[in-house]
A and B are shown apart, each in its own frame.
Chain A
Amino acid sequence: MNEEIRQIIAAHGRLSIDVAALAPDADLYHAGMTSHASVNVMLALEDHFDIEFPDRMLKRSVFESIAAIERALVELLSETPVS
């Protein structure tokens, strides 16, 4: 999952640095991700993992690092019913 998140951030986060070199807890906003870019990251994550971020998760801290995004995804995927 960590690698998939990195690929999505690389494609949509508009960072000015190499995403592969980022520590899991590195602040993505400090690395150059804008609020608008974080929306694109969120939508791409939803497409890729077939989930939807609920309103309660649409806040800065959920998207501030690779580790934070991974925690949110783990939570959402655990809530997704198996069809």
Chain B
Amino acid sequence: MAMRVGIDLVSVDGVRESIREHGARYLERIYTEGELCDCRTDQGIIAERLAARFAAKEATLKVLRPVDEAIPWHTMEVVRHGAGWVDVELSGRAADLAANGGLSDFALSISHEADYASAIVIAELDLRDQRSDPIMNI
């Protein structure tokens, strides 16, 4: 069994700039309702948490390796469990790409400091399970 790994680093300041300049359009375009809920506190939205989730989406893309294909951000969702750990859940085209590429059992870890947030995604890669993908074969 092979593995594939993706990692990403995001500037928290860049996320703050996006919120300041584009507000709800930025938030709703990139993050799911569940992700936004997990990033809100009584003090408002926490940019560090959003940055970690953006890093998770980019790290997931590095595992999926789409070939010049648009993968909507909402199809890679960071889900937070009660005890605090997180998973990435795929849907739509992201899930199709994973299935067709023989990728399964995605695992995610995220971290953030004041300035930067990072994420790492690992998935099992079964080379015997890779299917013909009509989009990938264009």
Q: Which residues of A approach B to under 8 Å, CB–CB? A: 12, 14, 34-37, 39-40, 43-44, 46-47, 55-61
Contacts and interface: CB of A to CB of B under 8 A. Distances in A.
Contacts of A46: 25
Contacts, number: 53
Given A59-B68, A59-B70, A34 B11 contact: yes
Dominant SS at the A interface?
helix
Interface residues of B, number: 23
21 contacts: A14-B11, A34-B10, A34-B11, A35-B54, A36-B11, A36-B14, A36-B15, A36-B58, A40-B18, A40-B21, A40-B22, A43-B21, A43-B25, A46-B25, A47-B22, A55-B70, A58-B72, A58-B73, A59-B69, A59-B71, A60-B68
Contacts of A40: 14, 17-18, 21-22, 26
